[in-house]
A and B are shown apart, each in its own frame.
Chain A
Amino acid sequence: MSHRDLTILVIDENAIRASIIEEGLREAGHGNVTVIHEVHGVARIIETLQPDVIVIDIENPNRDMMEHLFQLTRTVGRPIAMFVDRSDTASIEAAVEAGVSAYVIDGLKKERVKPILDMAVSRFNAFSRLQRELADAKSALEERKLVERAKGILMKMRGLSEEEAFTLLRQTAMNEKKKISEIAQSVVTAAGLLIR
């Protein structure tokens, strides 16, 4: 058993995150990886696959359905719920933080499972980082648009040059200890109220 390739099932409603994990597992040399995005029909899949390790995102409320499934069918040997490493508090916290939980067949050697779960944790984190960066990029773009509009309003109403308008916004932001986008928002709002 210890030399056989492990069969791994990844259940993640987020298709992008699931593919990031799948890629990582394949890079690590795991060939038997199955990814599903919804739990409908999962019982049949588990019975056919007989996975050694099931990785499921922690926010997935269908974890309770999995418990029911394990209770009714004994197809999966005796699955044990875990977060990476049962004894290591720091790695449990890291897994919870990342949002990874897993079921592992009882008796499977820790050395074989740990790298898989550690990898899942780091890929989950990489995914959240990606999402954060995307959100940041989006809001940066929004802010720039806002500043452009505020500049335009100041140029028109006060007869300033573009550079002067920008300097005025920046100076006001510094004086009021606010972000330039906040000042820009105030200008746009005020203009909307005053000019009709």
Chain B
Amino acid sequence: MSGETGVNALTDIDESKARKLSAGEALPAPAIVAGEGSRTVRAGFIPLVDAAVLIAAAEFGFAQKEGITLDLVKDTSWANVRDRLAFRQFDVAHMLSPMPVAAMLGLGSNPSPTITPFSLGRGGNAITLSTRLYAEMQEEGDLAASDNALANAKALAAVIRRARVAGSPPLKLGVTYPFSSHNYEFRYWLAAGGIDPDRDVRLVVVPPPMTSDALAAGAIDGFCVGAPWNMVASERGVGRIVATKQDIWPSAPEKVIGMRPDWADANPETVSRLLVALDAAARWCDAAENRSALAEVLAEQRYVAAPADILRRVLAGEFTIDPEGNRRIVDDYFVFHAGFANYPRPNHALWIYSQMVRWGQVALSAKGLEASVSAYRPDLYRRALGRSAPSAEIDIALEGAVPGDRFMDGHVFHPERIREYIDAFPVKATGRPHTSLDDM
């Protein structure tokens, strides 16, 4: 113990374990780890399929191999996850990718510095509308022939226009959190169809496990949420899936591993080992032959608590899109590792920031750009996983500019021209959103 920190050495780790570590063969740098205190990493998560990499790291030995004990704690709300991370109840957490960006921008009711050195993958989201609403959309045009997300959005716009003339109350659509991929993806889809998400509809927040009940009860008319809840609604016969994340933007960032920058600074070795473990778990999750075992574990009560059969199909991207049992296979619906899915691209933070600006959550400024980028930490990823990191050229690059990775409306994100990017959208926030308090 040459005293890495001097203060914390061995306070949280029992001595016999520490001695074993010093003599251990699997761990190359025991002294530093001991100097960082306990190697137990307390991780909060929300029961969703996209927590798979974190869960697999704990369940299939990847964390253990790196000398880390992952103590997973299931939570009920993103606000809880954020607060428990901020107040040191968690060391790391499964988070929505916009959460660290919002934290660095000082948005929300408890902004506390949060960074992400690792993305948990892509995909998993979809937009589901009530079967009743979908039937109205079908009357507007022939939708049965295609599953085109843009055509669906335009049909919804037509339904909304007609409803407005008839004086019907606006549709209520559910998202999961104000700073969520779901909020930005739902808004993107609506706006691409010509619908103003702040004026033409009412966006409300519904906790993911309650979405299909809320749809069935008519409390909401649709929602955008992660897996498996879209599939659950369509299997129950209450919803029709009208767009998946792949339709809106295949590369869209989803969940990340969030942590406090001071914790990352104080525990560099633990962070690196954790990332190595998560990287191995992500590779494992991507392999088709492991998906069945993964579905079994995720199905457990202490994790996602959903039928293994549904989870297996969700992981394979096999969608039952409507109550009639029509199916659709979405290629790469879940990508846990391939194509540098885990690399925390600063570009993603900037795109998230652009959507926050687009919808009036924050103003565009040089300081804001800097704060957003600081939430994403490719340097920590490189330190741990240098060999498998992509070239730094992709950190700041065009998005949606290559075939197979287009935005649904064909726009191209230029990270150095964010103002022009936002201005080019025909639908965006203008002044204060129209919100009726009675909707909540």
Contacts and interface: CB of A to CB of B under 8 A. Distances in A.
Interface of A: 39, 41-44, 47, 58-73, 78-83, 86, 89, 92-93, 96, 101, 103
B361 A101 contact: no
13 contacts: A41-B440, A43-B438, A44-B438, A61-B209, A64-B176, A64-B207, A67-B178, A81-B82, A81-B83, A92-B87, A96-B89, A101-B80, A101-B83
Contact of A63 (B77, B89, B107): B77
A60 B109 contact: no
A89 B210 CA distance: 32
B316 interface: no
Interface size class of B (residues with CB under 8 A): 20 to 34
A176 B299 CA distance: 37
B76 A59 contact: yes
B77 A64 contact: yes
A70 B109 contact: yes
Contact of B440 (A42, A96, A103): A42
Question: Which 7 pairs show the lowest CB-CB distances between chains A and B?
Answer: A61-B207, A81-B110, A43-B440, A43-B437, A68-B205, A63-B79, A63-B77
B88 A92 contact: yes
Nearest to B203: A68
A68 B437 contact: no
B178 A68 contact: yes
Interface of B: 76-80, 82-84, 87-89, 107-110, 175-178, 204-207, 209-210, 361, 433, 435, 437-440
Given A67-B177, A68-B178, A81-B83, A61 B76 contact: yes
B437 A81 contact: no
Nearest to A58: B80
Given A83-B83, A92-B89, A101-B80, A67 B108 contact: yes
Contacts of B79: 63-64, 66-67, 81, 101
A61 B210 contact: yes
B199 to A, nearest CB: 13
A83 B80 CA distance: 10
B130 to A, nearest CB: 19
B78 A64 contact: yes
A73 B434 CA distance: 10
A103 B108 CA distance: 12
Contacts of B440: 39, 41-43, 65, 68-69
A79 B205 contact: no
Contacts of B438: 41, 43-44
Nearest to A87: B87
A86 B206 CA distance: 28
A72 B80 contact: no
Contacts of B207: 61-62, 64-65
Given A43-B438, A61-B76, A82 B110 contact: yes
B76 A71 contact: no
B257 to A, nearest CB: 20
